[in-house]
Amino acid sequence: MGDIFIGDLDNLTTPPDYDSNCLNDFIDEIGSHVTGACMIPMNLPKSEVYNIIKRAKKWFYKTYEYSVTENFLYIPVEVFDTDHFRRRRSLTLPKENPATGGNEVYAVYAVAEIGSRYGAGSAITFTTGDFDVQRALFGSLYSGGASIVAGAENLQYFVINESFFDMARQILENPLSFHYSQQTHELKFTGQTPTKPVVLEIYETLPDCALFADEIFFRYVAAKVMISLGQKLAIFGYNLPGGITINADIIQSMGQDELDKVIEEIKNDEGTDWMMHS
């Protein structure tokens, strides 16, 4: 599923060659950032930073839209005639790829048979012939006594009618009912058994190397590391040679302030659903 690339150029047909050392490089960069390029001789153990990264990935998949990508997964009809499916009425979808850390099916938001709305082949449409958007918009503009207001009203009517036909497609071309578990990666069909090949619309996780390159993810992990470091130093009361006292509260507070900023930035970056009204 993660190896589907379409195009004529090499950079479109060839999957990216991710560096297998990107996790170690990312952890080293986090350590350099937290310690001020080793100016402060303290840091969390590498295993603890790795655990923070694993938890951060799960949080980002649920919260940050750029940590996942939309994709399609094709399931042959023969799969629904296996003993496993007849017994459990479910399929196990791909989990995280150990080599890259990505390509995990994180969420399924549409399931339909080939030929339906999601499988391509819907004959119910409002955007053809005399009812296409160009005719609706420009028909009144080039007629006698036309105005921009009339063209705008026609465009608004077009949007309303298109919404109606979109709802009709959902009713007349009923998608398959399902339930997907992000914990077990089990896709269970709760309605009829498919009689044709099925197409899933899914959210697929990015490879780790791509996620690690995201500035927001770096800041989030660095903030988490600083919070954890401050907590550990407060527990043990660590001092530097020469009697220099480490202020664990300030380290933890700096990490928490940065974390709050990152979370707020992610919230403000979410897309907006626009609504046309008169």
Residuewise pLDDT in 10s, the chain (278 residues): 444 333 344 444 445 555 568 888 999 999 888 887 666 667 788 889 999 999 999 999 999 999 999 998 888 888 899 888 889 999 888 888 877 888 889 998 888 887 655 444 444 444 444 455 566 566 655 555 555 666 677 777 777 877 777 777 666 666 788 899 988 899 999 888 888 888 888 999 999 999 999 999 999 999 999 999 888 888 776 666 666 677 788 889 999 999 999 999 999 876 555 454 54
pTM above 0.75, yes or no: no
Domain ranges of the chain: 19-63+214-270, 129-172
Residues forming a β-bridge with 240 = 244
Using the Cα atoms of residue 254, residue 255, residue 261 and residue 265 in order, give the sign of their dihedral. positive
How many whole angstroms separate alpha carbon 240 and alpha carbon 228?
Answer: 18
CB 188 within 8 A of CB 179: yes
Q: What is the pLDDT of residue 159?
A: 78
CB 155 within 8 A of CB 137: yes
Instruction: Name the token pair of 248.
Output: 């664990």
Q: What is the pLDDT of residue 148?
A: 60
Amino acid at position 176, single letter: L
Helix axes of 248-268 and 215-236: crossing angle, nearest 10 degrees? 150
